[in-house]
Structure 1
Amino acid sequence: MSSLALRFAPRLGKSAATVASSQANSYYTYSNQISQPLERKPTYTTAEEAVKVIKSGQTVFASGAAATPIHVLNAMTNHGKENNLRDITVVHMHTEGPASYCAPDCKDIFRSKSTFMGGNVRAAVAEGRGDAIPIFLHEIPILFRRKLIQPDVAIVSVSPPDEHGYATLGTSVDCVRAALENSKVIIAQVNKQMPRTFGDSIIHESHFDFAVNVDIPLPEHGGKGSTEVETKIGNLIAENLVEDGATLQMGIGNIPDAVLNALHNHKDLGIHSEMFAGGVVDLVKKGCVTNDKKTYHRGRIVGSFLIGPKKLYDFVNNNPFIEMLEINYVNNVGIIARNPKMTAINSAIEVDITGQVCADSIGTRMYSGFGGQVDFIRGAAEGFDGKGKPIIALPSVTNKGQSKIVPMLKPGAGVVTSRAHAHYIVTEHGIANMFGKTLRQRAYELIQISHPDHREALEKAAFERLKTMPTPN
């Protein structure tokens, strides 16, 4: 067969073994644009059959958050154990579910490589059985497009194809498109309960090598309600820092939920965020979120991945009001800065008295990742209209009563947001504005919003560190 004929030869109904042995016939032969229909169809099969394509020494990409393909990943784990496979790397952002491939008995079979850690892989990383890559969210697609990570197999969760053969990536676009465009084999977990989304989410089923039909609920987060402390923080931010017409970014967690719950008297809010929570649904229904003042994607909520309660998934399903876009666009500082009154709300593990923010580790123990914090903190600070507000919000103390405002970060703790990036720091005791302040002014501001039980000790520690008393002027 000539090279030209091979380029357009369809692959119909090939087995896992055939796909593995004939990569020259992969969809690269036609196009790496996953929304372009190809003259081929996927093999619909079981998860157990589909994962047989995975061999020792390969790299597997898995989509994450609510789109974690848990059913197929569990089958992959069993396949690795039953067939004595070795040295398989599993690359992913934050995933949900058990991450069974990270269990101690899989140590020599699979090695997790996280670009943002979830709780299901923390033990593996802490014990040296897994890896974490410190990286900004907006740069993760570059890993695939520059071939720094080259997946042999991608396992993703998608919505069912429509009458034209188009499925969607549903709740997770983020870096998934980049991974798919650079993977040799694609296994799709086709979930009837995966929402159908718009934007960069579209993928034609002809790009799937194998498809596994499932009908299972998506992982859920949120809906537990806020504590008194979290409610106070939410009210402080909503009443003092969020203006009408502001564009909001906020991640997952009780503090972002508390902020959303306090915004029901605001007008013309917009959303441009790598992810958003269930509280946005209520604000849309009440008319508080209109996106009318946005200069980019006016009238649309912009996100990149989702995880929340079921009402959030029902809200985004087949809803053109929401655009799910690639993370390298959503988290691009230049794009973020173009939004009006860009207000970025992020959390932290601890903050030292000079404004250094640790958000990815507890001492030397890795906890999460850089995520989108710096992307949005910087984007808000560089806002074209000069009205952006970069905010770090955290309770003043831990569950054990230890201060989260500290003289120095714990040994080995990572600085995610530098002291120069930090602007507003918020606890339940108030708001500290770091911008343009000297070290002793910063220490003063932060001590004022620390827990009263710790202020005297913090003041003494600040004097010892700075050789001068913290003062407001």
Structure 2
Amino acid sequence: MSVMGKIIPNVSSRNFGRISAALSNRTYFTYTQELSQPLDRKPETLTAKEAFEKCLKSGQTVFAQGAAATPAPLLDAMTAVGKAGSLKDIRVVHMHTEKDAAYVAPDCEGIFRSCSLFMAANVRKAVAEGRSDAIPIFLQDIPKLFHRKIIQPDIAVIQVSPPDSHGYCSLGTSVDCVRAALVNSKIIIAQVNVNMPRTFGDAIIHMSHIDYAVEDNTPLPEHGGKGGSPEETKIGQLIGDNLVEDGATLQMGIGSIPDAVLSALKNHKDLGIHSEMFSVGVIDLFRRGCITNNKKKTHRGRIVGSFLVGNRELYDFVDNNPAIEMLEIDYVNNTHIVSLQPTMTAINSCIEVDLTGQVAADSIGTRMYSGFGGQVDFIRGAAEAVDGRGKPIIAIVSNTKRGESKVVPTLKLGAGVVTTRAHVHYVVTEQGIANLFGKTLRQRAYELIKIAHPDHREALEKAAFERLKCMPAP
């Protein structure tokens, strides 16, 4: 059979025995190589609707790939088939997904129930209204949910690059927990998209593992690449000038602050990237020779990531690029692995931080906003750095767009603590840098008030006195 112009061998059925045998021998740091092994079988090429009509049933669990690889056309078809067939109680499990999530609309209640492992904007309303679920979990722990059968997908819905001459596709921009879900799924439906960049590492999957292939060349969602605010630019400069050393290994997410930090590193040397995700800002530094990855002890010379969301420039940069390794999230975010990276510098953001250093990042009061993500994985990994040179950094603009302080006397009622006061070391705003490590509560309050917006410092000082029964002091 010819799929996307490639010849794939035939077989009568999936070899499920290979999966159970491989899983029984799995150890904590063992990669799942099963998907890289060619099988004597071929996928069936169908439309998205036909694929779901063949396999979608009430009571099933569906895993959906996320970030830039979100297979939106497939998920739309899944929603339509579920509604047309009057199906019910279908659980859709995913990390951050892009574009509209039709399956969480009010008219899908009872048919589908979303379960977020890290929430995106497209499901926040449904979670807030009780129609969808969220699981608080560190990114590095998500694959365990599948390997330990806590979540058992009946169907995995993914997006891949077209197969090469050997029949190998790539998961492209999103490896993260996808391999763990795939080797534990009964059926794999793949959107085969020429716009999906071909990446290496754990991204490789042989076409013979796919049950139903759907050809759809919808462009990937794009984000980033725009300039930040003056405050974000200042934060980037403060971090770049004071906290990032030559030879440092960097972790940072997407957004204006990470891009601002990267923009401030044009005179740095021998930087490395070991991050669950990275953005378009790495491209210029890579081409300038600032990012070489030459000081890393593992994956030397290569950028390590696990998922991406960016623009076309980023997707073109990672496409077929052997200098990029996309690896599973339980390896990339493993605290011990992070601690081994030289001068590990972890830069993360949050919603608010209280005067003792408690960080709220997944919720605004009782309203869930995102998830734990990789913040604690990397903050703790940098703190535990075996070379003693790690720098855990929380970076935030001092004020919200409404002019409210992000440095607060106490976290909003019901807000979850993602990074504890014991985890926190550096907190950076456009007003300066606070180092909280080893500081008492009143010293922490003093340092944080100094980097709060000037409009709020007096009120914060009064609140600190009321809380601590003494004045903040250096």
TM-score higher than 0.5: yes
How far did residue 10 of structure 1 move? 6.6
Match for 2:122 among 103, 108, 120? Answer: 120
- Pairwise mapping of residues 247-396 of structure 1 onto structure 2 (< 5 A)? 247-396=249-398
In structure 2, distance between residues paired with 1:101 and 1:443: 45
Question: Is the 1:30–1:38 contact (alpha carbons within 8 Å) kept by the matching residues of 2?
Answer: no
Q: Deviations over 1:173-229 (max 9, x none)?
A: 100000000000000011110000110111111110000011121111102211001
Match of 2:232 among 230, 233, 245: 230
**2:406 is the counterpart of 1:404:** yes
Aligned counterparts of 1:131 and 1:428: Cα–Cα separation in 2 = 36
**Partner Cα separation in structure 1 for residue 137 and residue 128 of structure 2:** 18
Q: TM-score, normalised by structure 1?
A: 0.94
Q: Hey, what's the Cα distance between the residues in 2 that align with 1:81 and 1:112? A: 15
Q: 1:30: how far off?
A: 4.0
Cα distance in 1 for residues equivalent to 2:18 and 2:116: 31
Judge conservation of contact 1:116–1:133 (CA < 8 Å) in 2. Answer: yes
Mapped to 2, the partners of 1:132 and 1:228 lie a distance apart of 34
Match of 2:29 in 1: none
Q: Does 1:59 align with 2:61?
A: yes
Structure 2 residue identity aligned to 1:415: V
Structure 2 Cα separation of the partners of residues 186 and 409 of structure 1: 43
Q: Give the structure 2 partner of residue 441 of structure 1.
A: 443
Q: Is the 8 A contact 1:27 1:207 kept in 2?
A: no
* Structure 2 letter corresponding to 1:131: D
1:187-266 to structure 2, matched below 5 A, reads 187-266=189-268
Match of 1:186 in 2: 188
Report the counterpart of residue 140 of structure 1 in structure 2. 142
Match of 1:4 in 2: none
Letter in 2 for 1:227: S
Q: Residue deviations 1:145-184, cap 9 Å, x none?
A: 0000000000001111111111011111100000000000
Give the aligned residue type for 2:48: A
Question: Partners in 2 of 1:416 and 1:236 — Cα distance?
Answer: 24
Aligned mates of 1:49, 1:339 — CA distance in 2: 47
Amino acid at match of 2:195: Q
The residue that corresponds to 2:84 in the other structure is 82
Q: Deviations over 1:418-444 (max 9, x none)?
A: 000000000000000000000000000
Structure 2: which amino acid aligns with 1:205? M
Separation in 2 of the partners of 1:139 and 1:229?
Answer: 34
Task: Quote the offset at 1:409 in angstroms.
Answer: 0.2
Query: What is the aligned partner in structure 2 of residue 6 from structure 1?
Result: none
Give CA deviations for 1:275-326 in whole Å, capped at 9, x if unaligned.
0000001110111100011111110000000010111000000000000000
Task: Tell me which amino acid in the other structure corresponds to 2:52.
Answer: V
Contact persistence 2:14–2:41 (CA under 8 A): no
Q: Which amino acid aligns with 1:125?
A: V
Q: Secondary structure at the match of 1:66?
A: coil
Distance 1:103 1:282 in 2: 40
> Per-residue deviation at 1:36?
0.8
SS in 2 for 1:229: helix
> Once the two structures are aligned, what percentage of the paired residues are identical?
71
Moved segments of 4+, more than 2 Å: 9-12, 29-32
- Give the AA of the match of 2:110: D
CA contact (8 A) 1:90 1:113 kept: yes
TM-score by length of 2: 0.94
Task: Tell me the alpha carbon deviations over residues 337-376 of structure 1, each in whole angstroms, 9 at most, x when there is no partner.
Answer: 1111000000000000000000000000000000000000
Aligned to 1:39: 40
CA distance, structure 2, for counterparts of residue 370 and residue 28 of structure 1: 34
Say if 1:112 and 1:130, in contact at 8 Å, map to a contact too. yes
Partner of 2:421: 419
For 1:332 and 1:85, how far apart are their aligned partners in 2? 39
SS at match of 1:34: helix
Asked if 1:98 corresponds to 2:86, the answer is no
> How far off is 1:34 after superposition?
1.0
Cα separation, 1, equivalents of 2:414 and 2:10? 54
- Alpha-carbon distance, 1:27 to partner: 3.6
- The alignment partner of 2:393 has SS state of strand
Match of 1:131 among 133, 136, 156: 133
Looking at structure 2, the residues matched to 372 and 29 of structure 1 have their Cα atoms a distance apart, in angstroms, of: 34
How far apart in 1 are the matches of 2:11 and 2:82?
26
SS of 1:121 mapped into structure 2: helix
- Kindly indicate whether the alpha-carbon contact (under 8 Å) linking 1:26 and 1:185 is maintained by their aligned counterparts in 2: no
Q: Contact 2:348/2:393 (CA < 8 Å) preserved in 1?
A: yes
The answer for unaligned runs of 5 or more in structure 2 is 1-8, 23-33
In the alignment, structure 1 residue 152 sits paired with structure 2 residue 154: yes
The DSSP-based 3-state class of the residue aligned with 2:240 is helix
Greater Cα shift, 258-267 or 428-437? 258-267
1:70: which partner in 2?
72
Supply the distance in 2 between the matched residues of 1:448 and 1:287 (Cα, whole angstroms): 36
**1:108, 1:403 → 2: CA distance?**
40
SS at match of 2:121: coil
Measured in 1, the distance between the counterparts of 2:15 and 2:328 equals 21
Once the 2 structures are TM-superposed, how far is the Cα of residue 26 of structure 1 from its aligned partner?
Answer: 3.8
2-side partners of 1:112 and 1:312: how far apart? 29
Contact 2:235–2:429, Cα closer than 8 Å, also in 1: yes
| Letter paired with 2:193 | N
Alignment of 1:164-179 (within 5 A): 164-179=166-181
Counterpart of 1:21 in structure 2 is: none
Q: CA deviation at 1:46?
A: 0.4
Matched, 1:49 2:50: yes
1:312 and 1:109 mapped to 2: Cα distance? 37
Q: Do the aligned partners of 1:303 and 1:323 also contact (CA within 8 Å) in 2?
A: yes
The answer as to whether partners of 1:56 and 1:88 remain within 8 angstroms in 2 is yes
Give the secondary structure class of the aligned counterpart of 1:120.
helix
